[in-house]
Amino acid sequence: MKTENKSKLLSAVINIVFWGAIWGVFEATVGYALHAVSFGYGWLIWYPAACFFLANVYRKTKSPSAVFLAGLLCASVKMLNLLSPIRIDKVINPAISIVFEALAIGLVIHLTKRFFNGKRNHIAAKTVVVLAMNTFWRLMYILYILLLVPSWMRDISVISNADKFVKFFVVENFATSLILFAAYQYASPILKPVKNAEKKLSSLLTKFSSRKVFAFKSALAVLTLCLYIVFTLALQ
């Protein structure tokens, strides 16, 4: 029993590191490209992408806590940008957002399992889940800006004027919630390429011992994390 629990724990750690790092690589590379071309609608991509990666963490671990830990890992690596000559709020605020997104998603998953178990596929339940996740992290972020940042950072934030606040809390919330709801409705075809890739990899690894498979998966997770760190430091 102890061996089985240890195996599950190690598998969860590998998936946390792998999917958290993949999310980070996406943020570092796609984010860098979008900022380079001054794309003003990156918010349509960031949060739905975060949900995709964290959904895979939960799919592989079945643990809301793992979802939060993946976000914490991603945000921790993001903080390495403090080593480069970049304005501090452009590092800390995105990292805080990542933590809040992961916390909100993990908490809503936990509450959904507890209160909507068996009804999670109902349209009403999906609507509540999507809006709750999206609204909760935005509320936490606003409270963070109100209570924990210096005044100069608050003066250029999403609450610096009514237009920015409405855009962040209403417009972006509503638009990304629509995207997430559509993705929730069609989760199976969206995740199918990922699952197919996993099946192909698993079939290739059946030729090897469980110890070698574990070593390979661990190495892949660590390699992905290292790649994330390199991109984070290099593309800023």
pLDDT in tens, 16-33: 999 999 999 998 888 777
Global pTM reads 0.93
CA distance 58 to 197: 17
CA distance 224 to 233: 14
Confidence of residue 110 (pLDDT cuts 50, 70, 90): very high
Helices (H), 85-171: 89-115, 123-148, 151-154, 162-166
Confidence of residue 3 (pLDDT cuts 50, 70, 90): low
Q: Residue 184 domain-assigned?
A: yes
Q: Residue 50 domain-assigned?
A: no
Q: Residue 93 domain-assigned?
A: yes
| Phi, psi for residue 121 in degrees, rounded to 5 | -90, -5
Q: What is the pLDDT of residue 14?
A: 96
Q: Residue 221 domain-assigned?
A: yes
19 CB neighbour count, 10 Å cutoff: 27
The mean per-residue pLDDT over the stretch 87-110 comes to 94
Question: Of 137, 136, 129, nearest to 109 (Cα)?
Answer: 129
Q: Dihedral (C-alpha) 125, 126, 130, 132: value to the nearest 10 degrees?
A: 0
Can you give the residue range of the structural domain that contains 99? 2-45+62-234
Confidence of residue 236 (pLDDT cuts 50, 70, 90): low
Q: Residue 51 domain-assigned?
A: no
The mean per-residue pLDDT over the stretch 88-112 comes to 94
Kindly calculate the radius of gyration of the chain based on its CA atoms and give it in whole angstroms: 19
pLDDT in tens, 151-168: 999 999 999 999 999 999
Decide: 144 and 191 in contact? Cβ < 8 Å: no
By percentage, how much of the chain surpasses pLDDT 90? 70
Length reported for the chain: 236
pLDDT in tens, 161-210: 999 999 999 999 999 999 999 998 899 999 999 999 999 999 998 888 88
Write out the two tokens for 51. Answer: 């949900």
Q: Residue 158 domain-assigned?
A: yes
Q: Residue 208 domain-assigned?
A: yes
Residues 6+ apart with CB under 8 A from 114: none
Q: Residue 55 domain-assigned?
A: no
User: Count of domains in the chain?
Assistant: 1
Confidence of residue 122 (pLDDT cuts 50, 70, 90): confident
Q: Is the per-residue pLDDT at 5 higher than 80?
A: no
Of the chain, the end-to-end C-alpha distance in Å amounts to 47
The mean per-residue pLDDT over the stretch 145-151 comes to 95
Mean pLDDT (the chain, rounded): 91
